Amino acid sequence: MDKDVKILAIESSCDETSAAVVVNGREVLSNIIASQIDIHTKFGGVVPEVASRKHIEAISVVVKEALEVAKIDFEDIDAVAVTYGPGLVGALLVGLQYAKGLAYALKKPLIGVNHIEGHISANFIEHKDLKPPFVCLVVSGGHTFVVYMKDFGDFEVLGETRDDAAGEAFDKVARSIGLGYPGGPKIDKISKIGNEDAIKFPRANFHEECLDFSFSGVKSAVLNYLNNKAMKEEIIVAEDVAASFQKAVVGVLVDNAIKACKIKKVDKIAIAGGVASNSSLRKTMIEEGNKNGIEVLFPAPILCTDNAAMIGSAGYFEYKKGRVASIKLNAIPNLKLGER
């Protein structure tokens, strides 16, 4: 039997400083997340300069805690995995420099991980027997992709957003109806008591085979609706606006996800990223999956938002493929999926 591989993983691409210890890409010994949400809420969104400073303050504390909770020492780890893109450059650099310093001092391999591949890998932690091929819908604050995962670390992008990411649209619409940051969970919550058929917001549909997304149209439609109502001094029912907007976004996400499974002839789809916590997306995806004979998989909510355990999982599969990074590894803010 192969020796267990213990990866110390670090994530700092946006507003969460996280460190985790993951065994063989599937078993999480610790997953420490220091969130900066409270600070950024005051500004209505993530302030990059503030994020970098907060990462610097938190990084050594979360790494120390990750080892303590995992009950291991630095010497026990086999490799250091770190997110090197995509994300905010200043934020990425904090985790990356720390990881490089550690790998160098400990004489352990350094593994560079793509943040989006990390989100997809959260499914390998949640579903212990999950193996490619499958389709994955990645929906986060910065990205929206539908991908075909052919093998571990081998992706084909089938569709992506042409403008806003799904989570970004949730956050912007939430701000316009006065819900604050981060808006996704708040829209999700108030939509439960809203009428999703109250307002017909547009859905961007490209030609039949195209699996791309666009959310700027629905976002503008919500803003126009709110402006019109305000001008006419009519009452705005925030719950109905939220539920109708959510229905439009979820409808497009689910349609493209099911289409992708049919095109690739697979009967399994994994959902990933912060928006994968959305209750309407979960419910609609499962219903449509059942109708089409497709198994729908989600990670637990704690593995959907940014965390280092998912980086440790993706890092393990990179490590197994011998993809070790050089100490010169740099942050790539716009790193593409599958690019190395």
Q: Which entry of ligand KG4, Zn ion, none binds 171, CB below 5 to 8 A by partner kind? A: ligand KG4
Q: Which is nearer to ligand KG4, 109 or 273 (CB)?
A: 273
> Does the protein bind Zn ion through residue 306 (CB under 5 A)?
yes
- Enumerate residues 6+ apart whose C-beta is below 8 A from 221: 201, 202
Q: Which residue in the set 7, 14, 173, 238 belongs to the binding site for ligand KG4 (CB under 6 A)?
A: 14
Q: Give the contacts of 59 (CB within 8 A, at least 6 positions apart).
A: 10, 12, 17, 19, 94, 95, 98
Strand order across the beta sheet in which 154-160 lies = 154-160, 144-151, 134-139, 268-272, 295-297
Shortest distance (Å) from residue 272 CB to ligand KG4: 8
**168 contacts Zn ion (rule: CB under 5 A):** no
Exposure of 310 in the CB half-sphere (CA atoms within 13 A): 28
- Contact between 285 and ligand KG4 by CB under 6 A: the answer reads no
114 binds Zn ion (CB under 5 A): no
Q: Which does 248 bind (CB under 5 to 8 A by kind): Zn ion, ligand KG4, none?
A: none
In this chain, which of 142, 153, 251, 299 binds ligand KG4, going by CB under 6 A? 142
Q: Of 134 and 170, which CB lies nearer to ligand KG4 in the complex structure?
A: 170
Q: Which does 256 bind (CB under 5 to 8 A by kind): ligand KG4, Zn ion, none?
A: none
Among 85, 90, 109, 182, binds ligand KG4 (CB under 6 A): 182
Judged by CB under 6 A, the chain residues 300 through 319 that form the site for ligand KG4 are: 305-306
Which of 155, 170, 201, 316 is in the footprint of ligand KG4 by CB under 6 A? 170
- The binding track of 249-278 with respect to ligand KG4, each residue x by CB under 6 A or -, is ------------------------xxx-xx
Q: What angle do CA 131, 137, 142 make, to 5 degrees?
A: 125
Question: Which partner in Zn ion, ligand KG4, none is near 90 (CB below 5 to 8 A by kind)?
Answer: none
**Site stretch for ligand KG4 (CB under 6 A), options 98-106, 139-147, 208-216, 288-296:** 139-147
Q: Does 248 bind ligand KG4 (CB under 6 A)?
A: no
Kindly report the number of other CB atoms within 10 A of residue 265's CB atom.
Answer: 7
The residue (of 7 and 122) whose beta carbon lies closer to ligand KG4 is 122
**Phi, psi for residue 160 in degrees, rounded to 5:** -150, 170
178's torsion region: left (phi>0), alpha (psi -120 to 50) or beta? Answer: left
Q: How far apart are CA 37 and CA 35, in angstroms?
A: 6
Of 120, 116, 137, nearest to 253 (Cα)? 137
Q: Does 184 bind ligand KG4 (CB under 6 A)?
A: yes
Distance of CA 56 to the CA centre of its chain: 22
3 state SS of 148: strand
Torsion angles phi and psi, residue 194, rounded to 5: -105, 170
284 interacts with, out of ligand KG4, Zn ion, none, CB within 5 to 8 A per kind: none
Question: Is 140 near Zn ion (CB under 5 A)?
Answer: yes
Q: What span, in angstroms and rounded, lies between the C-alpha atoms of 1 and 22?
A: 18
> Which residues, including other chains, have CB under 8 Å from residue 243's CB and lie 6 or more apart?
190, 191, 192, 194, 195, 196, 198
Q: Which residues bind ligand KG4 (CB under 6 A)?
A: 14, 140-142, 167, 170-171, 182-185, 188, 273-275, 277-278, 305-306
